[in-house]
Structure 1
Amino acid sequence: MTIIVDGVVEELVTQGVNSLVRIVSDNVTLVRGINSEIKDLTSDIQMFNARLVEASKNPRANDHQVLRLIVNKFRSVVNEAEDTIADYVVLKKKHGNNLFLKSLDKTPLCGKVNGYASEIQSIRRKMNAIRQEHEQELQYLMQYEIKDQDKAVKTFHQAGPTVEKNEVFGFKKDLEDLKARLLEASDNFIVIPIVGMPGTGKTTFASMLFEDLSILNNLVRIWVPVSKWCDRKQKFISIIYQITKSTEDLTTKSEEMLKDTIQTLLKDRKYFIILDDVWERKDWDSLQTAFPKNMNGSRVLVTTRHDNVIDSTWKSHNLEKLSDDDGWLLIKNNVFGTEGCSDKLLEELGKKIARKCKGLPLALVVVAGILRKCITSTDWQQVADNPLLEINRENQSYHEIVKMSYNDLPNEKLKNCFLYFASFPMGHEIAI
């Protein structure tokens, strides 16, 4: 079973912690007798939950098996604490508050109170054991998140995409069509979604438009990499830095202040913004509020794998896959450069590999990187037998794309279906 760790922490564990806190706060007059034990336990649980939530925000948390174990252990402790404290509150209500205190010297009731105190202490020991046992893993995940944020701060000033420059194969007609739309004689604000499945080269294609000098006249150019984990505030800061080239620390400003700043900076200007790799409608909705819909001929280009991310009122451009011939040209260019391929056997195997990559530029580029390290035709033959097996190994960038797509599937049934079909060899006919 696949668990989205961040969702589990937010929806299940945190809800349990909040429920526990409510029980204590709503019955503050009823926890006398063992109130110090209950308060200490509640404090420990809240503190650990805060650390767990922070660790779960790490983009790699979903693949961290130990974190899943920690979540399950913690959830069990929270449930046990909630049940024990609730039972204790019921006991207090049953005997009445004042009478309860007076009757503590009665052996049966005193024994029950001591029993609850022992249970609370036992739960707290379990809580401390979890914290001590898994401190290193949580610290690692939290530090990774900090490093990611530091890295993001360093890239706020980035004024364009970072992609490998490859000669254009198969995109010529797409480039002509998009340039015509971007340069059309209209002062209207226009949004152009570029839609394509993972690996079709949307980012590379958008970067070609971004760098094209013929569309840069009097334009403010802004490149915003969005991806699956969109931090709205971070993106706003990046946009402001790209416009102003300022070194001012903007991290203390609110999102609303940053949004208003962008609106002010762009309202009288003609701008060209690329939002690269937008996964969800909510991310588009939250970012586009900062872009003034002026009549200066401004353009916003959005690359996305989903055609429902942008309003259907904006005409999308679907980026198709490369032909087999263009696929081979892309492989040949990346492996042999300007010298070309003079070996007929390698050319035959290369064309076979290109066909099996189904016209996906990312797959073609990754497999070309593998072929550059192949010394003999036997090595090429091994790749040609199953190129997707080679490019989906964990040390290849394509593996991350496939994994992200799998994690993005909306429910467990689709994920199981994905894994089921993955067990069949490519091209295998599946009987229904």
Structure 2
Amino acid sequence: MAEFLLSKFAESAVSQTVQRITDLLIYEAASLSSVREDVEVLQNDLKSLQGLIKAADSKQEHDQHLEELVRQVKHVASEAEDVIDTYILKVDSSCIKAFHNKRIRPQINSVRARIQNIINTSMPIYGFVSAVGEGTSSIVDLQRHLRRSSPNDDDGDNDVVSLKSSTSALTEELTKEEDRLCVVSVVGMGGLGKTTLAKKVFKCVKQKFDCSAWVFISQQYVLRDVLIDIFIQIGSPNENMKFERINSARDISERKKKEREFLNALPDHELIDSLNDKLKEKRFLVVLDDIWKIEAWDFLKRAFPKGKKGSKILFTTRNRDVASAADPRSCQVEPPLLTFEESWELLKRKAFPRDIVDAHGCPPEYENLGKEMAKKCAGLPLAVVVLGGLLSRKATLEEWKKVMRDVNSNLNKMQSRQQYEGVNHVVVL
């Protein structure tokens, strides 16, 4: 029991820091704009650490010295948060922004090095082993991590070759002014680009609504947390709560902490009724990204009134039955598979710097291999994007050939198993 609680403390420490950095990326966008990429890389490293702790908690026996690992995890999480907080405060009070930019990058790299040391050295000692590549469950976990979304991600357009028809169809559905609460769904198999499409349209149309929110559901969800996330995104949960003027990143953190404490204290029915009341006189747009089960919607829908004319709920789901059950009258938008030409264009974009390709074209020997691998991805954008990212770190033709051999080895599994299981293994690469 003690070991279980210790692992939960470690997971909680990292989870809080990931949420903290997410909040800062949203609310301190201006302060972090010049180092946003560095901060997001650090955030992803922390998410990897969080995922390994969860996996280990369910699959491994805990060492009697787990307390030392927990101490390391909590310390590195705290250090990551302090680095970002300190940077924002210094930038806000200084006119020499470039000076602080140069200082934060080595600090972030130092924290990242400590995270990697925990993952690669300390965790195996205590029985925390990464299972990526060892089975179907690890494939699903990895894909879930890759799919985890935020509307503030900036890279969506770089992963899309052509979604013009789907973009137009979804935009039309979301901007219709029907006098009822409509559930519009983006449907299709995993890796098809549902979230990318939804994110692209969400950014374009959200200004047409009084308020909007984006929450990630997936197969593992806590419905209360979903409602609380929506509440915080659409505005203060309690109009009677008084907050001091926000002067720093820590003020933002303190405000959000108070909001969450207030909402967590409410029983389910009061939380649902309060959100319902808050949305009643608004035209709202709420995205439920990667929803799998109709039971989740059956619980959540009580919180959503009809709202003002034109209010919408947007699903992304691989389950057509969920979309149909939620709103039989509404349209379902399905992004198409990529053509071979689109797959190759996307793979080339991810694998090579654009300026090099534009200036010199793709070397023929790489192009032949690349086109062959693009065909193997079966038109799934996620497989193409991940494969392109892998190839971007392979400098020689021999390394590309090795990737090709690995792709062929994994895709052979398509012949005897589920149609796209081989493509899932491309993602594991």
TM-score (norm 1): 0.55
Match of 2:293 among 280, 283, 288: 280
Show the 5 A alignment for 1:23-422. Answer: 60-61=54-55, 64-66=58-60, 160-162=151-153, 164-167=155-158, 168-212=160-204, 214=205, 216-245=207-236, 247=256, 248=259, 249=261, 250-310=263-323, 311=325, 312-339=328-355, 340=357, 341-387=361-407, 421=417
Change (3 A) 1:426 1:272: closer
Q: Report deviation, 1:255.
A: 2.1
Separation in 1, partners of 2:151, 2:380? 23
Cα distance per residue 1:287-319 (max 9 Å; x no partner): 222111234210111011111223144332223
Distance 1:307 1:136, change over 3 A: farther
User: With CA pairs under 8 Å and 6+ residues apart, which has the higher RCO, 1 or 2?
Assistant: 2
- Structure 2, gaps ≥5 residues long: 13-49, 81-148, 237-254, 424-429
- Tell me, in whole angstroms, the C-alpha distance in 1 between the residues paired with 2:67 and 2:314: 39
Are the aligned partners of 2:210 and 2:284 in contact in 1 as well (CA < 8 Å)?
yes
1:300 is paired with a residue whose SS is strand
Q: Can you list the C-alpha shifts for 1:162-205, whole angstroms capped at 9, x where unaligned?
A: 36333331311110111111122433321111111111111111
- Assess, with a 3 A threshold, how the Cα gap between structure 1 residues 285 and 144 changes in structure 2: closer, same or farther: farther
Question: Taking structure 1 as reference, are residues 389 and 144 closer, same or farther at Cα in structure 2, changes over 3 Å only?
Answer: farther
Once residues 290 and 389 of structure 1 are traced to their aligned partners in structure 2, the CA distance between those partners, rounded to angstroms, is: 48
Aligned mates of 2:64, 2:269 — CA distance in 1: 36
What RMSD, in angstroms, separates the aligned Cα atoms of the two structures?
4.2
Aligned residue for 1:308, secondary structure, equals: helix
Residues 381, 206 of structure 1: CA spacing in aligned structure 2 closer, same or farther, 3 A cutoff? same
Do the aligned partners of residues 316 and 252 (structure 1) sit closer, same or farther apart at CA in structure 2, a change above 3 Å counting? same
**Same amino acid, percent of matched pairs:** 27
Measured after TM superposition, the shift of residue 160 of structure 1 is: 3.2
The verdict on how the C-alpha distance between 1:295 and 1:243 changes in structure 2, with shifts beyond 3 A counting, is: closer
CA positional deviation for 1:342: 2.9
Separation of aligned partners in 1, 2:422 and 2:299: 40
Following the alignment from structure 1 to structure 2, what is the Cα–Cα distance between the partners of residues 320 and 138?
49
CA contact (8 A) 1:357 1:387 kept: no
1:196–1:304: 8 Å Cα contact kept in structure 2? yes
Aligned mates of 1:276, 1:228 — CA distance in 2: 11
Q: Secondary structure at the match of 1:289?
A: helix
CA distance in 1, matches of 2:67, 2:304: 38
> In the superposition, relative to structure 1, how do residues 420 and 345 fare at CA in structure 2: closer, same or farther (>3 Å)?
closer
Moved more, 344-353 or 54-63: 54-63
Deviation track 1:204-231 (CA, whole Å, cap 9, x = no partner) reads 111101111x552243111011121111
Q: Is residue 166–residue 334 contact of structure 2 (8 Å, CA) maintained in 1?
A: no
Query: In 1, Cα distance between the equivalents of 2:152 and 2:367?
Result: 32
In the alignment, the residues of structure 1 paired with residue 381 and residue 405 of structure 2 have an alpha-carbon distance, to the nearest angstrom, of 19
Structure 1 alignment gaps of length 5 or more: 1-46, 68-132, 152-157, 392-416, 428-432
* Contact residue 159 and residue 242 of structure 1 kept, 8 A: no
Aligned residue identity for 2:349: N
Q: Distance in 2 between matches of 1:263 and 1:194?
A: 24
Number of aligned residue pairs: 281
Give secondary structure in 1 for the equivalent of 2:303: coil
Whether the 8 Å CA contact 2:287–2:314 is kept in 1: the answer is yes
> Does the 8 Å CA contact 2:157/2:200 hold for their aligned counterparts?
no
Residue 185 to residue 243, structure 1, CA distance change in 2 (3 Å) = closer
Find the counterpart in structure 2 of residue 118 from structure 1: none
Deviation sequence 1:347-396 (CA, Å, 0-9, x none): 222111111011111111111111111112222222233437689xxxxx
Shift of 1:323: 1.1
* Higher gyration radius (CA): 1
Distance of 1:138 and 1:283 partners within structure 2:
36
Secondary structure of residue in 2 paired with 1:262 = helix
Q: For residue 216 of structure 1, give the secondary structure of its aligned residue in structure 2.
A: helix
- Residue identity matched to 2:172: A
Give the match's secondary structure for 1:358: coil
The one-letter amino acid of 1:254's match is: P
